[in-house]
Structure 1
Amino acid sequence: MYKILVLNLGSTSTKIAYYEDEACIIKTNIEHPAEEIKQFNHFMEQNKYRENYIKKFMSENNVDISELDVIVSRGGHTKPLEGGVYRVCEEMLEQQASGLYGQHPCDLGSKIAYGMCERIKAIPLVVDPPITDEFEPLARLSGHPLIERRSSFHALSHKATAKRYARENGLKYDELNLIVVHLGGGVSVAPHGKGRMIDGDNGLEGDGAYSTNRTGALPVGDLVKLCFSGEYSYEQVKKMINGNGGLMAYLGESDVKTIESNAKHDEKAALYLDGMVYQVCKNIGSCATVLYGKVDAILVTGGIAYSSSIVQKIKDRCEFIAPVVVYPGENEMESLARGAFGGLKGDEPIRNFNESTTVTA
C-alpha cells in the first residue's frame, strides 16, 4: 500500500489530502485569513507559514510523515514540458522561483513538497503541470512571427478527465480523439489527439471563450486602440483581461449560480451567460476540425459543469459532433493522487525534469 500526501496551494487556501493507494482517507481545505496573508510581500515567502498548516493537518489526523511514499503537489511554472509525472528537483524550483514562466502559489507547493521530503523516504512529485505543452507545430502559429501561441491552460484537469473517461470505458487514452472542456473561474477547450493535447486556448491571458472573470479573445484592433488610448495603464488592461473581464465586466458578478438565478428575470444576465456558453460551443466546433471531425467524445468538467442547464445548452449545440459526457467539479486532488499512484505502480514513468522532453518553438 502506498501512502500519498497531496498538496494544492491557492492564493488564499491550502488544500491537503491523505491517500492510501487510490482511496482518500482524509482531506481538508484551509482558508487563510486576509490578516495573516497580508504580512507577506509575495506568496513565495509563505513557505514556513503554509508548511506549518500542513504539518498541523498531519498531526491532527495521525499521518506519520516518515511512512509517506510520496508528497505530490500541483505545480509549477518552468520550461514547457510534455504531460506526465515529474520528480521535483532543485533546477525545477529555481525556474519556478525566477518567475520567467509565470508564477502561481502552486509553485510554492512543489517547493514545500521538496523540502518536506529531504529527510524522509518519500519522493516529491508534480503531475501534468500548467506549462504542459504538447501542441502541434500548426497550433503555435499566431499570424505574426513576433507572437507565438502557447499552451497554458488547465492541463491537470484536462488530462485527468480524459484518462478517467478512457479508464471507465475500458479504452486507452492514447487511442482516443477527445475534446475536453474545463468550465471554472477560467474556461479552456482543447482537442486531445491520441493521448496528447495538440491545441488549446490560453484563457489566462486572452484567448478562447470569456469566462466568469476573464475576457477570453477580444477583437484585436479594438484592444490595440484601447491600449493606446491613454486612458488605461498596462496593469489596468491586464486586470481587465484576467480578473475583471467576462461576466464580472458585464454584470459585476462572477458567481454562476447567482447569475443563473438572476437570469430568470433579468434579460441581460441571461444574454451574457448564454454568450459565454455560445463561445464555448464555437471553440468545441473549432477543435472538432483540428481532429478532422473524428471525435470519440466531448468531456465537460469543472465547477460550472454542475449546472444542468448550461450542460444541456452545450449538448444542444454540440452533440451532433460526438456524445457529451459530464464530470462536474475540479477533481484536482484526486487527479494528483491518481497520477502519483500511477507513477509509483509503474503505470507511467516518473520523469526526471533534467532529462525530460522540452518543448521548443
Structure 2
Amino acid sequence: MTDRVLVLNCGSSSVKYRLYDGETVTDKGTVERVGGPGGGPADHESAVRQILDRLDLTGLAAVGHRVVHGGRRFSAPVLIDDAVFAAIEELVPLAPLHNPANLAGIRVARESLPDVPQVAVFDTAFHHTLPEAVATYAIDRDTAHRYDIRRYGFHGTSHAYVSKRTAELLARPYEALNVITLHLGNGASACAVSGGRSVATSMGMSPLEGLVMGTRSGDLDPTVIFHLRREGGLTVDEIDDLLNHRSGLLGLTGANDMREVLARRDAGDTAAALAFDVYCRRITGYVGAYYALLGRVDAITFTAGVGEHAPAVRSAALAGLDRLGIAVDPARNDGSGDRVISPDGGEVSVCVVGTDEEREIAREARAVVAAHH
C-alpha cells in the first residue's frame, strides 16, 4: 500500500484539496465561488471533477472526505459504501448547508476512482465521547428522541489535531493532558479535552450555538426567536438566515472579518469596540466553565484564522484569569508559528497551534484503510 492520500474538503461554497505522500503535501489548492456568480464552477460535482482531472492520482491509497454531520450513527471514520452514503444522505436535515456538498464530493470521487477506497471523516465524531449529561438538552425527552435533538458538536477534526499537537508542543503524554482548545475562525467553538477525549464543546445540535462567530450569533435566549416570529412577523427561514448569516461580528459591525473589526476599533469605532468585547467575553465565559468542569487545566490552545493571527483577541479573552494560573506573555503573544505564549513557569500553558484538519483527515483515512487490509 502506498502512502498517497487525497483529501477533499467540500465547504458550502468552496472545495479545498490536499494531496499527501506520507506527511508531505505534494499538491494543494482551493476552488472558490462554487455555485456562485463570478465564473466559479456551477456546482460541487464540477469543482471536484476539475480537481481530479488536474491531479496525478496513480497509486492512491485512499481519498479522505470531510463530512460535517455524522449524527449518532458515526462515531469514527468509516469506509464509504452504498449504505454509508445513504446514511450520510439521511443526515442532511441536521446539516442542510454542508452534508449535500460533502456528498457531492464523495459521489464524484467514487465514480472517477472506483478502485480507490473512500473514507468519510466526520466533524462530529470526536465529540462522541461527550458524557450524556453534556450532550442532553433539558427538553421533553420523547420529542428530543423523535427529532434527534442533542448536542453533537463540530470542528471535531480540528479539536482532535490541535489537542494532540499541544501535547507534542509541551512534550507531555496526550492521555494525561487536560486542554481547552479554542477554534476561532469564521465559525468558532471551544472544546474541553481530557486525556484525548472531548468532554464538553460549545457548538450544539448545529454549529450555531456557543461562541460569537463571523456571521453566527452563538448563544441566544430562544425567546428571541419567538419574539421575532410573533412581533416581527419573520418567517422561520428568515430567522434562520438572520442568526446564521447576518449576526455575529457581521451583525454587530457590518464586517465578519476580525482584522477589519480590529482596524475599526483601533480607529475609534464604538460599534467595533463593543463587538470585540462581546466576542472576547463569550470566550472568557467558556474558558471559566470548562476550567470548572475539568478541575485541572494543563493548557489552553488557540487555533484557526482568528485564534492564530489575532494577539489582541488572545490577550483580551484570557485577561483577568491570573487567579486561575492563566497569563499571556505580551512578547510571545506577538510571535508566530506553533508556540507557548504564557510566561515561563505558568501554571497553565497558553499555546497557539496552526490547525490542520486536512492532515488529520489524511492520517485517519490511512488508518481506516490499513485496518481493512
TM-score range, shorter chain: 0.7 to 0.9
For residues 272 and 35 of structure 1, what CA distance do their matches in structure 2 show?
Answer: 30
Paired-residue identity, %: 22
211-220 vs 334-343, greater mean Cα deviation: 334-343
Match of 2:94 among 92, 95, 101: 101
CA contact (8 A) 2:180 2:193 kept: yes
- TM alignment of 1:111-150, pairs within 5 A: 111-118=107-114, 120=115, 122-130=116-124, 132=126, 133-145=128-140, 146-147=143-144, 148-150=149-151
Q: Shift of the alpha carbon at 1:317?
A: 4.1
For residues 257 and 130 of structure 1, what CA distance do their matches in structure 2 show?
Answer: 29
Cα deviations by residue, 1:269-317 (Å, 9 ceiling, x for unpaired): 01111210110110111111221x2112111111102111111223324
CA contact (8 A) 1:81 1:131 kept: no
CA contact (8 A) 1:7 1:109 kept: yes
CA contact (8 A) 2:215 2:246 kept: yes
Match of 1:323 among 349, 355, 367: 349
CA contact (8 A) 1:73 1:126 kept: yes
1:294 is aligned to 2:291: no
Cα deviations by residue, 1:79-126 (Å, 9 ceiling, x for unpaired): 3256543222222211222324324122333333433442x2x32113
Q: 1:267 to 1:26 in 2, by over 3 A?
A: same
Q: Shift of the alpha carbon at 1:76?
A: 4.3
CA contact (8 A) 1:85 1:350 kept: no
1:15 is aligned to 2:12: no
- TM alignment of 1:124-273, pairs within 5 A: 124-130=118-124, 132=126, 133-145=128-140, 146-147=143-144, 148-202=149-203, 204=206, 206-264=208-266, 265-273=268-276
CA contact (8 A) 2:179 2:301 kept: yes
Cα deviations by residue, 1:32-55 (Å, 9 ceiling, x for unpaired): 462488996xx6xx43x1332122
For residues 304 and 335 of structure 1, what CA distance do their matches in structure 2 show?
Answer: 20
How many residue pairs align between the two structures?
Answer: 334
Match of 2:84 among 67, 71, 92: 92
CA contact (8 A) 1:151 1:201 kept: no
Cα deviations by residue, 1:11-50 (Å, 9 ceiling, x for unpaired): 222212111100111211122462488996xx6xx43x13
Q: What residue identity is the alignment partner of 1:101?
A: L
1:339 is aligned to 2:336: no
CA contact (8 A) 2:41 2:47 kept: no
Q: Shift of the alpha carbon at 1:174?
A: 3.0
Match of 2:54 among 41, 52, 57: 57
* TM-score (norm. length: structure 2): 0.81
CA contact (8 A) 1:76 1:96 kept: no
Q: 1:117 to 1:53 in 2, by over 3 A?
A: same
Q: Shift of the alpha carbon at 1:183?
A: 0.3
RMSD (Å), alpha carbons:
2.6
SS at the partner of 1:277? helix
Match of 1:69 among 49, 53, 61: 61
SS at the partner of 1:299? strand
CA contact (8 A) 1:315 1:324 kept: no
Q: Shift of the alpha carbon at 1:2?
A: 0.7
Alignment partner, residue 282 of structure 1: 285
Q: 1:86 to 1:287 in 2, by over 3 A?
A: same
Q: 1:76 to 1:311 in 2, by over 3 A?
A: closer
For residues 228 and 315 of structure 1, what CA distance do their matches in structure 2 show?
Answer: 39
Alignment partner, residue 29 of structure 1: 30
For residues 173 and 85 of structure 1, what CA distance do their matches in structure 2 show?
Answer: 20
Alignment partner, residue 332 of structure 2: none
For residues 124 and 108 of structure 2, what CA distance do their matches in structure 1 show?
Answer: 18
Q: 1:140 to 1:164 in 2, by over 3 A?
A: same
Q: Shift of the alpha carbon at 1:336?
A: 1.8
For residues 161 and 286 of structure 1, what CA distance do their matches in structure 2 show?
Answer: 20
For residues 255 and 185 of structure 1, what CA distance do their matches in structure 2 show?
Answer: 8
Q: 1:302 to 1:205 in 2, by over 3 A?
A: closer
* TM-score (norm. length: structure 1): 0.83
SS at the partner of 1:27? strand
CA contact (8 A) 2:7 2:17 kept: yes
Q: Which runs of 5+ in 2 are unaligned?
A: 327-347
Q: What residue identity is the alignment partner of 2:356?
A: N
For residues 125 and 64 of structure 2, what CA distance do their matches in structure 1 show?
Answer: 17
SS at the partner of 1:242? helix
